[in-house]
Structure 1
Amino acid sequence: MSTENIPQSEPLRNDQVQNNAGGFSWAVDDMQRLRRFLCLGCEGGTYYQGEKELGIENAKSILKLIENGRGVEVVETIKTYSIEGRTSKQNPIMFALALCAKSTDLPTKRAAYGSLSDICRIPTHLFMFIKYAHALGQNWGRAQRRAVSKWYTEQNPSKLAMAITKYQNREGYSHRDILRLSHPSTNDALLCFLFDYITHGLQKAIENLNKPKESTNGDHTTEDKTDKDQQQVQQQQQGNLNDEDDETNNKKLVTIEQLNDFLETVEKAKTSTNEDELITAIRQHHLVREHMPTNMLNSKSIWSVLLEKMPLTAMIRNLGKMSEIDLLSENSDAEKRVVERLKNREQLQRARIHPFNILVALETYKQGKGFKGKLQWQVSKQVKDALEEAFYLSFKYVKPTNQRYLLGLDVSGSMSGGTINGSPSVTPAVGSCAMCMVTVRTEPYAKVS
């Protein structure tokens, strides 16, 4: 019997299963459902605004994998998708990791907490993980305290100083909250100084420098420290840093005096109204937009200096603001710098920006206004064209799965109306075509119908 004559209420082959709509489709295993969730935020093959049942079912599929002894494999998959930048959003990654961390299966729990620092690369990710972990179980067990403490104590002090001042609070948590919950312990004088700054403020941290460290609610250190002890720790750490390969580890030699100077500059910048003073601070201490007081973020001079070393992701996110203050005027140096970076293949590869995120930035920018607040700007044609070129260039850096895909697109008129949940600048038609294009351009076995 020809397959053309088989109604959709009957299976084409015996290995097909009935779906929720009453038709038949190919069976999808739990691991594939996990991969779908990490990429889409739901485990179904399509995303609907009301797909709440599949979200719950997704959690059940992860739990099922853990019950079947594949929890460590789940964690490795989460880690791979995170490190390789395969997802456009981090929320599903952090939720899945938190679910594994709260598992009663010890190998899964150990693997999840052991991967925490690799997956939560910035405080935003860490706070998001803690939020989901709290929702799944409010208690802070020993494993979670140890893993979160390790996230802080294994950081390079100069990088940690930048991180805690740039990402001060997210998801309802601050670094002070996290330190009081995790009780990190370290013999590193530099980290102790930073922990004192987080929990008590800069002035108190400076006062505590020459005092013996007592066990407090932060538990920053387990032994008393004199000035001599601190100097020995600093000398030992500096020796270790000098032995490291700077290109591989990107570590800088730093002292308490340098950390103090940086933190004093950050604190002063919060209330500064002196444009020249802020520009000097940006250049000398590499301050970023998050360090600037809100009332000074309308200054072209400050944005021009910030742009010099601004990460590519942050630059794309702030294109609207820079255009609003006329920094990206036609043929300006800033416009040329932005266009050049957007077309730079190496920078796109290092930034690991997903093509869909660039598409969202393009669709938002060319509309000349934001969807939140009152931000409006004059669109730069050169910047708009560079964003479009960056969208196509970024396909090259999406890792193929080498699986076979048959993609079906809804071409009805309804796809051109409304917006995508979470991406209000993109219509369903544009979003589905973009994701289809990503698959077709990166996968060797893909067909569209």
Structure 2
Amino acid sequence: MEGLSNIDAWKYCLRKYLCLGTFEGLLISNNTSIDLEKCIDSLIVAECGCEVVEILLKFRRENRTPKRDAILFALATCCRCCHLETKKKAYNALPDICQNPADLFQFLSFYRSLGVGSGWGRAHRRAVAEWYLGYEKQDGQKKKEDEMKKMVYHFFKYQSRHGWSHKDVFRLCHFKKENLDEKVMVKYMVLVFTSPKNGRARGKEWLNEVKKSTPEEKFDELKNLVEEYSKAQKSKSMTVIIDLIDKYDIPREVVPSEMLNYKNVWKALLRQMPFTALIRNLGKMSNLGVFERGSFEENLTIQKLTNPESIQNSKVHPFTLLVALTQYRKGRGELGSLIWAVNPYISQALEDAFYLSFKSISTVKKKSYLIAVDLNGAMNAPVIGSPTVSALDAAAALAMATVRCGDQCSVVAFSSKEGTPLQGVDLGETDSLPDVLEKFTVISPGKVDCSRLLKEATEAKNGGSSVLPETSFNVFVVYTGFKTDFSKDAADLLHDCYRIYDSSSFESV
């Protein structure tokens, strides 16, 4: 990050943490260890806190992070800060960043870990209360019905996460009576999760108020839906569970654990299973024999996995699909003793889904990319966030994605072949992931020499490179498992690149 101002350097670190999707570990820059909290605090002190929140919103909306841990941790840090404008903007962003109770519970867990006391301030209570009240905000009968189903689905699917439950949150956020009176559906759900069986006097009083302020038909529909979900939680009958799943789209999290050992229960769940839940449970369903050859379940799963619209609507990150693909092909889970027979048709559909997810990647348009890949042993280590995917797998996938999405892209590998420290890798737009990995594995790994890379790039502009085509590169990307120390020669070459190329369109990663 040499040549950058302190503020630009902190923003660079923030984006890097968000791209990795983790809030743990340290980034090393100029021999300085930087953690995410220190990075955000420094930006807030520099009066860039509001810009931090804008960056978080941009990453969340564009689905640019494989995990939400870093975004939620960063948001909690902004909400804990003393800069009033930053805090206000962070709380206003809560509904956009926390899109379901699981996100909210993780945010609250981070918020608690960053503070000294266990109490909540007024701004925090109000923001969390408004998050729940936001479930009931649309006008129109049809939208009200959709809101009701979504609310009940979310409340039961995500009953507790990260040491928090709905009951804990309701106890601390102190809903105002006038706000709940306007949101009768939310008021009823608060009653359900704080006064089981309406056993307390306050619960009975609230129930009567909800009945009076809600049309009888609407109240009966909401009450019936909640009762059926509660019934599914306690049922010991496979027939009853399957019937409830078919009628009310009961999610897997509501089904009792012992019922999840029956193949027919999973067949029922599969019909309405969301995309991300599907890729998480492929191993379990394969273990139980759900995907029999030529069966309806196998065909339905292949159809879901290869549906571009489903992939786009689910906002699944390509890295998430890469992890799911690598894990499924292993035929066993990383934790526990679950094993399964890999279905080749499901495996291929999952690989196709990985390629289809590239459409969500935003590249720097009208740029010419030069990608260099390190092939040394350090690249066999797992990447942050997944013990399944190696650094080389991730680098190959990223190079392939850039080739498919970028305007112009050349890929090289650092080689130990005498006289050729860089070796070109011919990646086509139709190459599969196994094809790309095969092209890398046949090359003998060599030293990561950034000086040689920049020299070849400089010579390529005039057609003098023996490795690269005659072109002007705007973006340089190096995937390596080592810290890249630039020598004075490399620094001079980088300066030459800025001088030779249009510096306004020049980028290095």
**What amino acid is the match of 1:344?**
N
2:351 to 388, 391, 396: 388
- What per-residue deviation string (whole Å, max 9, x for no partner) do you get for residues 312-367 of structure 1? 11001100011011001221111111111111111111111111110100000011
Structure 2: distance between partners of 1:178 and 1:48: 30
| Alpha-carbon separation, structure 2, partners of 1:330 and 1:142 | 58
- Residue of structure 1 equivalent to 2:189: 194
Unmatched segments (≥5 aa) in structure 2: 137-147, 408-473, 479-509
The DSSP-based 3-state class of the residue aligned with 1:100 is helix
Who is 1:293 aligned against? 256
Quote the RMSD (CA, aligned, Å).
3.0
Partners of 2:373 and 2:395 within 8 A in 1:
yes
CA–CA separation in structure 2 for the residues paired with 1:298 and 1:54: 50
Residue identity in the other structure for 1:302 = V
Deviation at 1:159, TM superposition (A): 2.1
Specify whether residues 76 and 311 from structure 1 end up closer, same or farther in structure 2 by C-alpha distance, changes over 3 A only: same
Contact 2:302–2:345 (Cα < 8 Å) also in 1: yes
For residues 133-186 of structure 1, the C-alpha deviation after alignment (integer angstroms, 9 at most, x for no partner) is: 111114411111000001111213432221111111111111111111111231
| Superposition misfits of 4+ residues, deviation over 6 angstroms | 47-55
Residue 146 and residue 431 in structure 1: after superposition, are their counterparts in 2 closer, same or farther (change >3 A)?
same
Distance 1:255 1:210, change over 3 A: farther
Change (3 A) 1:167 1:51: farther
Q: How does 1:275-424 map to 2 (within 5 A)?
A: 275-402=238-365, 407-416=371-380, 418-424=381-387
Q: Secondary structure at the match of 2:111?
A: helix
CA contact (8 A) 2:27 2:34 kept: no
One-letter amino acid of the counterpart of residue 173, structure 1: W
**Unpaired segments ≥5 residues, structure 1:** 1-14, 19-25, 214-224, 239-253
Structure 2 counterpart of 1:166, from 129, 136, 157: 157
The answer to whether the Cα contact below 8 Å between 2:7 and 2:43 also exists between their aligned partners in 1 is no
Which stretch has the larger CA shift, 384-393 or 69-78? Answer: 69-78
Matched-pair contact (CA < 8 Å) for 1:202–1:263 = no
User: Structure 2 vs 1, CA of residues 321 and 56 (structure 1 numbering), >3 Å: closer, same or farther?
Assistant: same
Match of 2:87 in 1: 109
Aligned match for 1:426, one of 376, 385, 389 = 389
Alignment of 1:24-423 (within 5 A): 29-41=9-21, 56-137=34-115, 138=117, 139-156=119-136, 157-185=148-176, 186-187=180-181, 188-204=183-199, 211=205, 213=206, 230-231=211-212, 233-235=213-215, 255-402=218-365, 407-416=371-380, 418-423=381-386
CA distance in 1, matches of 2:35, 2:247: 52
Sort the Cα spacing of 1:430 and 1:64 in 2 relative to 1 into closer, same or farther, 3 A.
Answer: same
Q: Deviations over 1:5-56 (max 9, x none)?
A: xxxxxxxxxx9459xxxxxxx995322222111111469xxx9889799774
User: What amino acid does structure 1 have at the position aligned with 2:174?
Assistant: H
Paired with 2:64 and 2:372, the residues of 1 have a C-alpha distance of 21
Q: Report which stretch shifted further, 193-202 or 304-313.
A: 193-202
Contact 1:36–1:42 under 8 Å retained in 2: no
Residues 404, 446 of structure 1: 8 Å contact kept: yes
Question: Residues 407 and 29 of structure 1: is their aligned pair in 2 closer, same or farther, counting only changes over 3 Å?
Answer: farther
Alpha-carbon contact 2:298-2:346 (below 8 Å) kept: yes
For residue 374 of structure 2, what is the amino acid of its counterpart? D
Please tell me whether the aligned partners of residues 102 and 136 of structure 1 are also in contact (alpha carbons under 8 angstroms).
yes
Per-residue CA shift, 1:395-418, capped at 9, x if unaligned? 1112235588664432113423x4
Query: Which whole-Å CA distance do the structure 2 matches of 1:102 and 1:126 have between them?
Result: 15
How far residue 263 of structure 1 moved from its aligned partner, in angstroms, is 2.1
Give, in whole Å, the separation in 1 of the partners of 2:255 and 2:384: 31
Q: Structure 1's 30 and 51: CA in aligned 2 closer, same or farther, altered over 3 A?
A: closer
Aligned residues of 2:27 and 2:35 also touching (Cα < 8 A)? no
Distance 2:248 2:17 in 1: 40
Q: Please say if residues 312 and 347 of structure 1, whose CA atoms lie closer than 8 Å, have aligned partners that are also in contact.
A: yes
Q: Could you tell me how far apart the structure 1 residues matched to 2:88 and 2:236 are?
A: 49
User: TM (normalized to structure 1)?
Assistant: 0.80
Q: What's the CA shift for 1:299?
A: 1.7
Q: Which moved more, 1:58-67 or 1:381-390?
A: 58-67
AA of the residue aligned to 1:143: A
Q: Please state whether the residue corresponding to 1:87 is helix, strand or coil.
A: coil
Question: Is the contact between residue 304 and residue 327 of structure 1 (CA under 8 Å) also seen in structure 2?
Answer: yes
Give the paired residue count.
393
Q: Structure 1's 172 and 382: CA in aligned 2 closer, same or farther, altered over 3 A?
A: same
Larger Rg: 2
Distance in 2, matches of 1:273 and 1:299, equals 12
Q: Deviations over 1:370-392 (max 9, x none)?
A: 11111111100001111111111
Query: What amino acid is the match of 2:256?
Result: P
- Identical columns (%): 35
Q: More displaced, 32-41 or 85-94?
A: 32-41
State the shift of 1:230 in Å. 4.4
Give the TM-score of the pair, scaled to structure 2: 0.71
